[in-house]
Amino acid sequence: MNSGEIAAMAGVSVRTLRHYHQVGVLPEPPRRANGYREYTVRDLVLLLRIRRLAELGIALDEIPSMLETGRRADAVLDELDRELAGQIERLTARRAAIARLRAAGASPDTPPELAGVLGAGAAGGPDLPPEVLQHDREVMLLLHHRLDEDGRAALAGLMSQVTEPRVRAATTELTARFAALAPDAPDAEIDRLVTAFQSVLGHLDLAGFEDVDPRIGALLTAYQESVFNDAQREFLARLSQVVSEGTTPAAPTP
């Protein structure tokens, strides 16, 4: 048999056959006078055994010792079974994440834990400009990536509160006002918006955000500088201050 014939009989490609030769798992047979390899039925049997082991997922460098002695068969199969069990668990988790994203109408890059609050219609949905929704998603992605497990749970809990029907209408209206802030908006307008936001935040449970890593704050500041105008950044700075200090901004001048 030549290489094409034995490959066809074994159900592998000629390229795979040559790869087995190159890595040393399948010895090369002698060549005929015309330079072509001459395979025997024994070569076919060995190739079939290699194919079966490879299909199980056994690494090629493990196969020669198994073929020679079989002593490591149980250990290799146990290890392979554990690896496959882990893969099944990871794939099952991925499918569950996909299902959550689909159910929420969320984009594929949304953390599954936040799918319900960042999906279509959540947190203002179509009532807010697309760029505002995009900013919200990007901030949530940054936070989710940098927070630890407890912080992520706190973030999901906070976003669930924000998207409750009784709160969502207020936050949507205030977010729209924030988006409409002109770069040269007067201090009085900024302070009125801070007061309005603080009123809403006062009804939310902010547990879990008391000791946020300063590096996260620096990251968010860098993001804000890249997407928001001067008045919007000033608003965020004032809001952060009054929330952290538990104070109320001075009454704005009418």
Contacts of 136-145 with CB under 8 Å at 24 or more apart are 136/175, 137/107, 137/110, 138/223, 139/220, 139/223, 140/111, 140/114, 141/109, 141/110, 141/111, 142/216, 142/219, 142/220, 142/223, 143/216, 143/220, 144/111, 144/113, 144/114
pLDDT for the residue 251: 41
For residue 25, count CB atoms less than 10 angstroms from its CB and return exposed for 0-12, middle for 13-18, buried for 19 or more.
buried
pLDDT for the residue 231: 94
How far does CA 50 lie from the centroid of its chain? 37
Residues 19 and 136 in one domain: no
- DSSP, collapsed to helix, strand or coil, labels residue 4 as helix
What length does the chain have?
254
Question: How would you write 189-249 as a 3-class SS string?
Answer: HHHHHHHHHHHHHCCCCCCCCCCCCHHHHHHHHHHHHHHCCHHHHHHHHHHHHHHHHCCCC
Residue 115 belongs to a domain: yes
Residue 253 belongs to a domain: no
Q: What are phi and psi of 185, to 5 degrees?
A: -60, 140
Q: Indicate the residue among 27, 55, 71 that finishes a domain.
A: 71
Helix ranges (DSSP H) in the chain? 3-10, 14-23, 41-56, 63-68, 73-104, 115-118, 130-146, 149-162, 165-179, 187-201, 214-227, 230-245
Residue 250 belongs to a domain: no
Give me 44's structure tokens. 């076919």
Domain count, the chain: 3
Residues 137 and 77 in one domain: no
pLDDT for the residue 249: 42
Residues 81 and 123 in one domain: no
Kindly give the confidence (pLDDT) of every residue in the chain, 254 residues in length, as a single tens digit, with 9 standing for 90 and above.
899 999 999 999 999 999 999 999 999 998 888 888 899 999 999 999 999 989 988 888 888 888 876 556 677 788 888 989 999 999 999 999 999 888 888 888 888 877 776 665 554 455 677 788 788 888 888 888 888 888 888 887 887 787 777 788 888 888 889 999 999 999 999 999 999 988 887 777 777 666 667 788 788 888 888 899 999 999 988 988 887 776 444 444 33
pTM above 0.75, yes or no: no
Residue 229 belongs to a domain: yes
Domain that holds residue 61: 3-71
The tally of CA atoms less than 13 A away on the side-chain side of residue 33 is 0
Residue 252 belongs to a domain: no
Contacts of 235-239 with CB under 8 Å at 24 or more apart are 235/178, 235/181, 235/190, 235/193, 235/194, 238/190, 238/191, 238/194, 239/194, 239/197, 239/198
Residues 33 and 136 in one domain: no
Residues 134 and 184 in one domain: yes
Residues 188 and 223 in one domain: yes
